[in-house]
Amino acid sequence: MDYLVIEGYKEAAENFSRESGLQPPVELDTIEERTLIRNAICRGDIDEAINRTNELNPEVLDSNPRLFFHLQQQRLIEYIRAGDIEGAITFAQTHLAPRGTENPEFLRELERTMTLLAFDNPPEDIAPLLGMGQRQKTANELNAAILASQNQGKEAKLAGLMRMLTWGEAMLDERCEYPHVDLTTGLLGGEVAKAEDAAPEG
């Protein structure tokens, strides 16, 4: 349930709740709102994402200046991506430069973003700003803030457990032999082999 809620699978969470009898930790309608917000950012519609976030909970952005700056930075990137140089410069001067003068970290990020204007083919260190990965990064940051405002974890517990499992297996690999967990079947590697050996031929 934790995974379905955090990752935004509303319908699956509803079905799981109905079949298991577990109550979801949040109103399931908020899952749909978070999904719409993430989708808006991933298609470059930052205004919609901000408006939807404020409708859901205005304190999310009011209490997180770094997140709001990153959303505004993403709006600037979208101007640049669209080739609207004049709009990008005006937006940066009006909305981002004042924040940059208050925070040296914001100023560095703004300068790095504005460097995109100087290149037809940006160098490797700044080119990722124009990629889908940057939109996803911004969407994830906003999603995590919304989850925190709902007293939810920022990451599904299942993802953390999988990382811990992988790390534990890597540590054991250096020290001894042991039956690995086969994630495709949920069985230990040795048990899979035994099951295959015991299976009747044909």
The tens digit of pLDDT for each residue in 146-158 reads: 988 887 655 556 6
Q: Are 33 and 56 in contact (CB under 8 A)?
A: yes
Integer Cα distance of 1 and 14 in angstroms: 9
- Which of residues 38 and 26 earns the better pLDDT score? 38
Average pLDDT, the chain: 84
How high is the pLDDT of residue 157? 62
Tokens coding 78:
């979208």
Dihedral of alpha carbons 141, 137, 46, 30, sign: negative
How high is the pLDDT of residue 202? 47
- Please provide residue 201's backbone torsions phi and psi, each rounded to the nearest 5 degrees: -70, 145
Q: Are 115 and 126 in contact (CB under 8 A)?
A: yes
190 pLDDT higher than 70: no
* Span 105-116, average pLDDT: 94
32 pLDDT higher than 50: yes
Position 139: which residue type? A
Integer Cα distance of 128 and 139 in angstroms: 15
Q: What is the pLDDT of residues 126-169, one digit of tens each?
A: 999 999 999 999 999 999 899 888 876 555 566 667 777 778 87
Band of residue 64 on the pLDDT scale cut at 50, 70, 90? very high
How high is the pLDDT of residue 86? 96
Integer Cα distance of 21 and 23 in angstroms: 6
31 contact partners, CB below 8 Å, separation of at least 6:
5, 8, 9, 10, 13
* Span 28-53, average pLDDT: 92
The full set of domain ranges for the chain reads 2-149, 163-198
